[in-house]
Structure 1
């Protein structure tokens, strides 16, 4: 599966949303109108219940399923588990810890991260079972390479190479009642937004990233880094405490804002409407602000 564009710039692959409980995340995401996939179990103590979108991106709510296995994996140097633990220790068990980029060569990404002094640790290869809504199962295999600024615990980025894509039908998993069909923007906050340019440009493999200010265009979405005041002014959501970099909001594309608003109202989900966008503040099981934007 080709994940890197001809220019070499990496697309958005998925987003990691730590949560205390997959049951809580599943209930919240279902009430927001998403179809949630069956639980996926990692071989190192974590587990997820993903939300797949028609544009090929997805959300990964992540919980600790086996505490001892996660502790053992972290002690053995598993960067994914170590960074999840660092995030939870810093921000709590509900949040938005990582933006993940698609790649065809995680080893090459790791080499770039090391050369730039931005590697968060060794690469990680693993496989897990994947099951669709009909119960059909296959094996998904991945290789990950990690990037982070030094001493940063609130956010990291990593490249994900899909070694084996499951041969299952995701159509039913992508038919969301809220009308969401893709992710158009990922929004982070920073005390010094301009200083994030180097980390992000290396992570996405785009030396020119940041030339357009604090918006970093990816092939399939935009990654934006805002100051706290700008973030709150735009979405009406508090930015929280001081941070080098913290992911805060996900902007989904929907066909009809009216239809999405009606579903949220019917499910008693508090939301605010601003122009063609609907803002749902973070809640337990939903670690980020969810913004639904009407896209023709």
Structure 2
């Protein structure tokens, strides 16, 4: 008798959020109550200013630092930069381009993605400097394995192996005025969500899918990944997307916070408009914030 080994779902690691410039993104994220890390410089022409959570997930606002370097890297097969450039060309300079899963073995993931027909290209290995607000420095190393679906040109995915974690205290970076703890849900849209069931199952390494009238849910080890129809996106989050455009699009993410009422007060004091839907507080897109951010009590 043949038995199928159960899969261990991967965790959500971080989200890639293209921005026009990091200064605008930093001001917006600060007004939302997040602590933003110092600028990190990539060796292939991009830069970030991340928001780290205590559950080991993070947000990566990503900007172009050296355009010529980015263009050269893209021509030479750097999937990360090439996909960032393609996203900006099609969708503009700000948005939500990639969902990243955590892994202990990116090389094995790459082989699995090739085998399953969803590889987006060759792996990427790199390191960059890391600095905390108090000046402590370290070097962070990463190994990435990419996945994509040609039917969804405006979203890509990769697994991230943290090869070398900086030996610095991140407590200050993981402490936020809005009481944010971590990522709880990633929200995508598509007219017929189950058309993308297979590639998402392979990405998350999860066989179980919960299909419902508004879409489907796939559970990662630390968060829910939800793909909603346009009607579902409107109903649950008040977000609009075309009824005719096909392909996965990353639309929003849910952040767990300690005290939702305190977040509502903080945002009101900072003149941030919000929409209350049930037990969630939705902050729609704005300059420096290319995706909807949803807060919920955790």
TM-score by length of 1: 0.95
**Alpha-carbon distance in 2 for matches of 1:219, 1:104:** 14
**Alpha-carbon distance in 1 for matches of 2:12, 2:57:** 7
1:238-267 CA-partner distances (Å, limit 9, x unpaired) = 225723001101101111111000000000
- Report how far residue 193 of structure 1 moved: 0.4
Q: 2:296 aligns with which of 273, 288, 293?
A: 293
- Partners of 1:50 and 1:59 within 8 A in 2: yes
**Alpha-carbon distance in 2 for matches of 1:24, 1:235:** 25
1:136-161 CA-partner distances (Å, limit 9, x unpaired) = 11000000000000253210110000
Equivalent residue, structure 1, for 2:166: 166
- The alignment of Structure 1 onto Structure 2 pairs a total of residues equal to 289
**Alpha-carbon distance in 2 for matches of 1:12, 1:27:** 25
Equivalent residue, structure 2, for 1:239: 241
**Alpha-carbon distance in 2 for matches of 1:138, 1:162:** 13
1:24-64 CA-partner distances (Å, limit 9, x unpaired) = 10010001000000000000000000000111100000000
Q: 1:264 aligns with which of 250, 264, 267?
A: 267
Establish whether residue 276 from structure 1 lines up as the match of residue 279 from structure 2. yes
Equivalent residue, structure 2, for 1:226: 228
Equivalent residue, structure 2, for 1:178: 178
Displacement over 3 Å in runs of 4+ = none
**Alpha-carbon distance in 1 for matches of 2:246, 2:266:** 34
- Report how far residue 209 of structure 1 moved: 3.6
Where structure 2 has 5 or more consecutive residues not aligned to the other structure, the ranges are 1-5
Equivalent residue, structure 2, for 1:153: 153
**Alpha-carbon distance in 1 for matches of 2:246, 2:136:** 43
- Partners of 1:191 and 1:243 within 8 A in 2: yes
- Report how far residue 219 of structure 1 moved: 0.8
**Alpha-carbon distance in 1 for matches of 2:192, 2:21:** 33
- Partners of 2:236 and 2:277 within 8 A in 1: no
**Alpha-carbon distance in 2 for matches of 1:96, 1:55:** 21
1:218-243 CA-partner distances (Å, limit 9, x unpaired) = 11000000011110111112225723
**Alpha-carbon distance in 2 for matches of 1:211, 1:88:** 32
Equivalent residue, structure 1, for 2:209: 210
Structure 1, 147-156 or 128-137: larger mean CA deviation? 147-156
**Alpha-carbon distance in 1 for matches of 2:151, 2:252:** 23
What is the root-mean-square deviation of aligned Cα atoms in Å? 1.3
**Alpha-carbon distance in 2 for matches of 1:235, 1:8:** 30
Indicate how the Cα distance of structure 1 residues 14 and 171 shifts in structure 2: closer, same or farther if over 3 A, else same: same
**Alpha-carbon distance in 2 for matches of 1:7, 1:189:** 25
Where structure 1 has 5 or more consecutive residues not aligned to the other structure, the ranges are 1-5
Structure 1, 98-107 or 210-219: larger mean CA deviation? 210-219
**2:173 aligned counterpart, secondary structure:** helix
